[in-house]
Chain A
Amino acid sequence: MNYSFFLYGRRFIVATVFLLLAAIVFCYYIDPFSVYGRIYIKDGVRVNSPGFTGQLKMGKAIAIKQHKPEVIILGSSRSAFGFSAQSAEKYLATTHIYNLSYPGINIYENLRYVQHAVALSPIKKVFIGLDFYQFHGGRPPEITFSEERLAVDVNNQPSGSASKDLISTLLSGDAVFYSIKVATGLCNWDDVYLPNGFKSQDHPGGWSGKFSDSEESYVDRTYTIPTFTYAVEGKKSSTFDYFRKIIQLAHEKNIDLRFFISPSHARQWEVIGQLDLWGQWEYWKREMLNITVQEAKRNSQSAYPIYDFSGYSLYSTEAVPRLASQGMRWYSDSSHYRQALGDIVLDKMVNHVDDEAFGRILNHQNIDEHLKSLKIQRVKYIAEHKQDIADIKSLIDARKRY
């Protein structure tokens, strides 16, 4: 009788070890998140595995260690989708560039990824796409963001460990699941990233249906749930403190840092306006400017520029077609600009062009006039785009009802 228990135990151990080893070897071979250097070829182009797309925070944090770039681009999905690798390499005249942006990033995570990159790589230039919602301190923290995987802590002290990522990429249900999907070709090969963190292809042009879907998520989940605040939930700090820390780090390390307010479509600004956040939006710009100037004075250096691409330009007021087949040139939805517009943004920043119509460099002399001008242009936009305004109003009214 006891022998049967002994045999059972032996079989259990053999089966367990076999299954665990099989999972590890399979996941390592397929490398579904492209963290062990496996590169796939799609239409003749070297790309990361499609699983990388679903694990950008991990994948990009690990990739920095391998790529050691000199230039990084940070920001939200707007920065992740809106720039092409070719253009970036052309304008910045280097191939040592990595796009660290990922969807939904907040200003704290921007800080942490800058710190991580600076700790691991000889960073010379940083471009950061700023979005108003990134500074909403009440947004619940994203559970997939992990402090552990970053090379330094928030005080720039060495910390972090890759052990959790090692386990999750080799010995997790997610890794096995993604490996099976990649191995069987059941994954989405249209939505993949290049080894340098840029999207492999541009997003298609948008139309009113896509605009409404995108705006709905901003109305329902991004700007006002809970009520917009700069105070960080559960802490005594404000989200501007993180912004300040980025600047302090850049001054300390002599990094060429450039901020830009993303050039979303005018309908995105209308969402902010109709949610009664226009005043906060203006305050946000003023406060960021104040901080860049304060920190510059403290370090006796010139202030890092903030390029304001928001507002009402020829691009951002592009007509939004009602049919998908009509596609837009500059936008894929209300939030995301296409790579053709990303090229213009890069051009202006690299060549340091202060363009009143698109890409004003904010300073204390022009901020009042600039904000006033945006207000006037908004009135004009509302008058000339009744259908667009009605679309957004119906979204916000529907939310108020429930």
Chain B
Amino acid sequence: MLFNSYVFIFIFLPIVLFGFYAIGARSHHRAAIAWLVAASLFFYGWWNPAYLSIILISMLFNYAVGAVLSGRDKSKLLLILSVAANLGVLAYYKYFNFFIENINNLGGTDFNFEKIVLPLAISFFTFQQVAYLIDAYRGETREYNFLSYCLFVTFFPQLIAGPIVHHREMLPQFAKETLYKINYRHLVIGISIFTLGFFKKSVLADGTSEYVNLTFSLAETSTPITFFAAWAGSLCYAFQLYFDFSGYSDMAIGLARMFGIVLPMNFNSPYKSQNITLFWRRWHMTLSRFLRDYLYIPLGGNRKGKTRQLINLMLTMVLGGFWHGAGWNFALWGFLHGAFLIMHNSWMKLSQKFGVKMPRLLAWWLTFSAVLFAWVPFRATSLEGAFNLWRGMLGINGWFLPQWMGNYAGYFKQWAMEHHIAFVGIFHQVGSVKLMDVLWFVMLFIIAFYMPNTQQFMQRYRPVFESSQHYKILTLKLCWRPSLAWSVMIAFLFVYATLSLTRISEFLYFQF
């Protein structure tokens, strides 16, 4: 079931909300939690009921191991074995096909296994539970009951694509007595956050997908993508991915809030970042936090010397790349970000030593360009496709210029032809681009770079778990409040997004 579907918005969600508060109002708190777990499992099983067993076994196993680890007998071996078991299951479902494919390519063998279909959300619920096991071993978990633990893993707003939640954030919230009584404050704040995310996903991201699909699928054929088409394609993808994923996160945060649960922040206007380290503190923040706490720091972080720190950074990013998908293109994406982080780290040392500071605009431009360049292998389905687009962005694949320029080219026309410059219209390869398309692009640009984000609009009402200080920029006058104007505007955005639902759309993060 997709968040952006009629069946979810108009049937599933109202029934689950009604059921939860109806049961909760009669003080059957455990039953209310059980209702939410059942609804979440139904939500998960909607795609493929067969995979329900995986998540159920995974929860039973990890809860039992967690109980042992948090007791008196803390066995490091048990921790290692249980984490290995979790990662083993993930590796089997996510990386086995990839592994066999590479063995066949390298050794010229022809091992042929039936293709394993990736169970939905396995990367997310594995990570959440691995963190739980490690914290249980460290003695940082409390005694949680099994039902609450199940809800922590399966809670449908964050189950499929995050935010990746931490037991410390979630489980104490389930224990609150006030949670089970209908609270209009939570409900309308949740609806408003959900609607802002719904609009971002359904209108802004999906409205941009057509051009992106066109460019990237053309890049997979052997057609060389020319300069402007390549830049436009990768820029549009950068916007599409941001609005898609941050929209999805907003929807998740809003949905949880309807049940009185506050989720952690996942995006904080990442494209406004002026360096790559900052970018990673603002993009998919809960994943960055997980990788930092459970991979980078255990690897030694910055405690074992400069060289080791840089190696740890690179390792974390490449593994983070692989987490997104089993493919060399994801590893390349992770490697590039590792390299960018190392460069930034080195630059910081140099700039401190020589007292040099980069102008803010240049710093932003460099950061965004690096991110943009790295998105290409992230989206391309093969390395060849990614290289094709990169060549295009660097001008190696030739240039298409507007037809009218050809009239003034005169003597240079022949020279231009010899140097792969043609006057056939800049987007000749992907069809005509109309004024509306340009205006649409400008609008995305303004929203991503100049507009406040959802959390800033909602800052008066604690939209996310974190302390809100670092995202307070707006004057309070512009912020959301339960006023007539905001209710009509949110209704308008909701209807607009609903009307946009019939387009073909799919969450980009579903396979990660």
Which A residues contact B (CB, under 8 angstroms)? 1-2, 4-9, 11-12, 15-16, 19-20, 23, 140, 143, 164, 167-168, 171-176, 225-226, 398, 401-402
With A16-B495, A23-B495, A171-B498 given, can you name 15 additional A-B contacts, CB distance below 8 Å? A2-B185, A5-B184, A5-B189, A5-B482, A8-B482, A11-B491, A12-B191, A20-B498, A140-B217, A171-B499, A174-B502, A398-B422, A401-B417, A401-B420, A402-B420
- A6, B191: Cα distance in complex, Å: 12
- A164, B504: Cα distance in complex, Å: 11
Contact B185 A173 (CB under 8 A): no
Decide if B501 is an interface residue (CB 8 Å cutoff).
yes
Q: Of A2, A19, A140, A164, which one neighbours B491 at CB under 8 angstroms?
A: A19
Decide if B494 is an interface residue (CB 8 Å cutoff).
yes
Residues of A within 8 Å of B183, CB to CB, are 2
With A5-B187, A20-B495, A164-B502 already in contact, the answer to whether A12 and B487 are too (CB < 8 A) is: yes
The stretch from B112-120, B132-140, B218-226, B334-342 touching chain A is B218-226
Residues of B within 8 Å of A226, CB to CB, are 221
- A168, B223: Cα distance in complex, Å: 35
Contact B188 A12 (CB under 8 A): yes
Decide if B483 is an interface residue (CB 8 Å cutoff).
yes
- A171, B501: Cα distance in complex, Å: 9
Decide if B496 is an interface residue (CB 8 Å cutoff).
yes
Decide if B415 is an interface residue (CB 8 Å cutoff).
no
Decide if B500 is an interface residue (CB 8 Å cutoff).
yes
Residues of A within 8 Å of B189, CB to CB, are 5
The prevalent SS among residues of B at the interface is: helix
Decide if B490 is an interface residue (CB 8 Å cutoff).
yes
With A402-B224, A402-B420 already in contact, the answer to whether A15 and B487 are too (CB < 8 A) is: yes
Q: How many residues of B contact A (CB 8 A)?
A: 38
Count of chain A to chain B residue pairs whose CB atoms are closer than 8 Å in the complex: 84
Q: Of A2, A174, A225, which one neighbours B221 at CB under 8 angstroms?
A: A225
10 nearest A-B residue pairs (beta carbon)? A15-B491, A8-B482, A11-B487, A172-B502, A5-B184, A168-B502, A173-B499, A19-B495, A16-B491, A4-B482
- A343, B348: Cα distance in complex, Å: 77
Residues facing A in B112-148 (CB within 8 A) are none
Residues of B within 8 Å of A398, CB to CB, are 422, 424
Contact B484 A11 (CB under 8 A): yes
Residues of A within 8 Å of B498, CB to CB, are 20, 171
Cβ distance A235 to chain B, nearest Cβ, rounded Å: 14
Contact B483 A8 (CB under 8 A): yes
Residues of B within 8 Å of A4, CB to CB, are 482
Contact B502 A402 (CB under 8 A): no
Cβ distance B288 to chain A, nearest Cβ, rounded Å: 33
Q: Of B188, B217, B422, which one neighbours A402 at CB under 8 angstroms?
A: B422
Most central of A8, A23, A175 by chain B CB within 10 Å: A8
Residues facing A in B191-246 (CB within 8 A) are 191, 217, 221, 223-224, 226
Q: Of A20, A23, A143, which one neighbours B504 at CB under 8 angstroms?
A: A143
- A2, B185: Cα distance in complex, Å: 6
With A19-B492, A173-B496, A173-B499 already in contact, the answer to whether A9 and B184 are too (CB < 8 A) is: yes
Decide if B92 is an interface residue (CB 8 Å cutoff).
no
Binary per-residue interface labels of chain B (477-491) against chain A in the complex, 1 for a CB within 8 Å, 0 otherwise? 000001110111011
Q: Of B398, B484, B499, which one neighbours A23 at CB under 8 angstroms?
A: B499
- A171, B187: Cα distance in complex, Å: 26
- A16, B188: Cα distance in complex, Å: 14
Nearest CB to that of B418 among chain A residues? A401
Residues of A within 8 Å of B492, CB to CB, are 15, 19
Contact A8 B221 (CB under 8 A): no
Decide if B6 is an interface residue (CB 8 Å cutoff).
yes
Residues of B within 8 Å of A173, CB to CB, are 496, 499-500, 502-503
- A401, B10: Cα distance in complex, Å: 53
Contact B185 A5 (CB under 8 A): yes
Residues of B within 8 Å of A172, CB to CB, are 499-502
Nearest CB to that of A3 among chain B residues? B184
Residues facing A in B349-370 (CB within 8 A) are none
Nearest CB to that of A23 among chain B residues? B499
Residues of A within 8 Å of B504, CB to CB, are 143
- A12, B495: Cα distance in complex, Å: 11
